[in-house]
A and B are shown apart, each in its own frame.
Chain A
């Protein structure tokens, strides 16, 4: 929706869910002059208050309805557990606010479609926080493909490997009822990225999962997801929290196209440090990605710029892929993407 010339005050943004990832969104809000942090809403009042205190004493509440009724709240960033996204997004839409919603859009295809429909119907801007799209490595790959440097992609490999151990058994991310399973929780990052790079319609997924950290896990900590696209391209996505050593953090990208080969080598991103514990590549950092992600959404909200935010439709495709991957793992067969 376009804002008229009278509304020169910055957009007020309410952060819903004051957990781990909220900090990165808040840092991005603070850095962008087009918006202000209007406050925090979290069902856990302590968390909302603590976050508000740490951010200059902005308003906080455990009552989302009240917060959504505030006239100085123009838009929301929802960063709560995955299974709450659908309900919260529909409430944000009903309140007439724009939304940057954390990934996955929803944990079911129906839920994702309902969210997209609700925002489209009201002419509100919905964007999904597929933050990898805004990281330099991902944009570089996209730019190179778009420039025609490698021709049309025929094979893409994307691996995000880590050995990060899940906090403990109470963590919602390892409860498939809350996270949707690992293919929806982290897998969607990769599924969205490769689909964006390839630019064709995904037709089938064959996924395999393992439980390396503990056989008692209800989610797979290692995923191998192979997606076939309408134009014949194939993408191999590996998402891992299962690798050892636990400190491993490795990204791998290969794009083989009809006109060339793109690779991101293991040491291609950051400086290399040798210390008493061995060799380490220094983390290139993700903070700027969150700023770029916020900026793209604000562009769309204020109808400035080219609109590079991740649309609800694209995020719904990633959900459909994630759901297909979970189904493929459960059945042990390739699954069509609907």
Chain B
């Protein structure tokens, strides 16, 4: 396996998040296909010959500049999510990525979860027939809010991206509810209409801590189709361990970040686009913006999918 050199650029994210230190750096370090060759807080090192991939977690105000600079320097890019705060900025990144033909992978790693992969393969194999509805729950127990942003931007796109990965049907309209009313929302409900008349209802948010739960308390997708019904519970696979200290689940398989990096590696070494690209990040942000408008107006907001189709 060819080993790709990785430069870690930045250590910022939404709110308190530092996905570089917590997720991507350990992920690259543990993956046999990559070797971390350096780190930078600015744009230095983009011209190094031993760098194949730049892992970008710079502050949002520098994202467009840093991602496009890396691409123009001929490097493939992994971009923290959200890729940008606005669809306009994301579109700029998408345009440069398209122009350079390099891999630019937004880190919506949940779509690589084995339960979601299995669902995607089953749907693609026609096991449920033509999907007409999806229900999704993405609830995380505990952890701090990503102030000043809310979970519409932070968590909801994981679930909507997973639905897109499973069904391939873009969203055409959204009605959204969010709470609390006063602040950055911690719980959102998205009622989506997709192409081909498929509907979905997505719940995403952060809840108070739950004893025995690390992270996701509820993460599942029900896909209903013309010939069957599929329930993918992404808190599985797992064994349940009960002991004096309470109950927990465990599973030894690779995590979603590792699996995402495998796709990044395959795309770079295979000279092909990654299955997840700037168009997906743009679709996610356009949906976030439309949902925000729906929350503010109480109306159903239609999406213009031409915007999301980057050439």
- Contact between A212 and B226 (Cβ–Cβ < 8 Å)? yes
Binary CB contact string for chain B from 181 to 221 against chain A (1 if under 8 A, 0 otherwise): 10000010101010001010101010110100000011000
**Alpha-carbon gap, A254 to B220, bound state (A):** 12
- Contact between A210 and B201 (Cβ–Cβ < 8 Å)? no
Q: How many residues of A contact B (CB 8 A)?
A: 38
Kindly list chain B residues whose C-beta atoms are within 8 Å of the C-beta of A85: none
Kindly list chain B residues whose C-beta atoms are within 8 Å of the C-beta of A222: 132-133, 224
Kindly list chain B residues whose C-beta atoms are within 8 Å of the C-beta of A206: 175, 191, 300
How near does chain A come to B238, taking the closest CB pair, in angstroms? 14
**Alpha-carbon gap, A208 to B188, bound state (A):** 18
In this assembly, does A87 line the interface, its C-beta being within 8 Å of a C-beta of chain B? Answer: no
Question: When A212-B132, A226-B189, A244-B228 are in contact, do A263 and B218 touch as well, CB less than 8 Å?
Answer: yes
How near does chain B come to A84, taking the closest CB pair, in angstroms? 33
- Contact between A224 and B191 (Cβ–Cβ < 8 Å)? yes
In this assembly, does A266 line the interface, its C-beta being within 8 Å of a C-beta of chain B? Answer: yes
**Alpha-carbon gap, A33 to B226, bound state (A):** 48
In this assembly, does B151 line the interface, its C-beta being within 8 Å of a C-beta of chain A? Answer: no
Residues of A181-226 at the interface with B, using a CB-CB cut-off of 8 Å, are 204, 206, 208, 210, 212, 222, 224, 226
**Alpha-carbon gap, A252 to B193, bound state (A):** 22
In this assembly, does A236 line the interface, its C-beta being within 8 Å of a C-beta of chain B? Answer: yes
In this assembly, does A260 line the interface, its C-beta being within 8 Å of a C-beta of chain B? Answer: yes
Stretch of B38-46, B108-116, B135-143, B158-166 that contacts chain A: B135-143
**Alpha-carbon gap, A266 to B231, bound state (A):** 10
In this assembly, does A245 line the interface, its C-beta being within 8 Å of a C-beta of chain B? Answer: yes
Question: When A244-B129, A256-B139, A332-B300 are in contact, do A261 and B207 touch as well, CB less than 8 Å?
Answer: yes
Question: When A261-B139, A266-B231 are in contact, do A244 and B225 touch as well, CB less than 8 Å?
Answer: yes
**Alpha-carbon gap, A278 to B199, bound state (A):** 29
Q: How many residues of B contact A (CB 8 A)?
A: 37
Kindly list chain A residues whose C-beta atoms are within 8 Å of the C-beta of B226: 212, 244
**Alpha-carbon gap, A243 to B224, bound state (A):** 7
- Contact between B181 and A232 (Cβ–Cβ < 8 Å)? yes
- Contact between A208 and B141 (Cβ–Cβ < 8 Å)? no
Question: For the complex, would chain B's binding face be called helix, strand, loop or mixed by DSSP majority?
Answer: strand
- Contact between A244 and B210 (Cβ–Cβ < 8 Å)? no
Binary CB contact string for chain A from 315 to 338 against chain B (1 if under 8 A, 0 otherwise): 000000000000000001110000
In this assembly, does B298 line the interface, its C-beta being within 8 Å of a C-beta of chain A? Answer: yes
**Alpha-carbon gap, A73 to B229, bound state (A):** 48
**Alpha-carbon gap, A232 to B179, bound state (A):** 7
Residues of B92-114 at the interface with A, using a CB-CB cut-off of 8 Å, are none
In this assembly, does A57 line the interface, its C-beta being within 8 Å of a C-beta of chain B? Answer: no
**Alpha-carbon gap, A212 to B229, bound state (A):** 13
Kindly list chain B residues whose C-beta atoms are within 8 Å of the C-beta of A159: 135
Residues of B9-54 at the interface with A, using a CB-CB cut-off of 8 Å, are none
Binary CB contact string for chain B from 272 to 311 against chain A (1 if under 8 A, 0 otherwise): 0000000000000000000000000011100000000000
In this assembly, does A178 line the interface, its C-beta being within 8 Å of a C-beta of chain B? Answer: no
- Contact between A208 and B135 (Cβ–Cβ < 8 Å)? no
Kindly list chain B residues whose C-beta atoms are within 8 Å of the C-beta of A155: 187, 189, 203, 205
**Alpha-carbon gap, A206 to B295, bound state (A):** 13
Binary CB contact string for chain A from 58 to 79 against chain B (1 if under 8 A, 0 otherwise): 0000000000000000000000
How near does chain B come to A278, taking the closest CB pair, in angstroms? 12
Instruction: Give me 10 A-to-B residue pairs in the complex whose CB atoms sit less than 8 angstroms apart, sorted by A's number.
Output: A154-B179, A155-B203, A157-B203, A206-B300, A212-B226, A222-B133, A244-B226, A256-B205, A259-B208, A260-B210
Nearest 5 pairs of A and B residues by beta carbon? A232-B179, A234-B189, A206-B175, A234-B177, A208-B199
Other than the given A206-B191, A240-B224, 5 more pairs (CB < 8 A) read A234-B177, A234-B179, A236-B203, A244-B229, A256-B187
- Chain B residues in the interface with A (C-beta under 8 A): 129, 132-133, 135, 137, 139, 141, 175, 177, 179-181, 187, 189, 191, 193, 197, 199, 201, 203, 205, 207-208, 210, 217-218, 222, 224-229, 231, 298-300
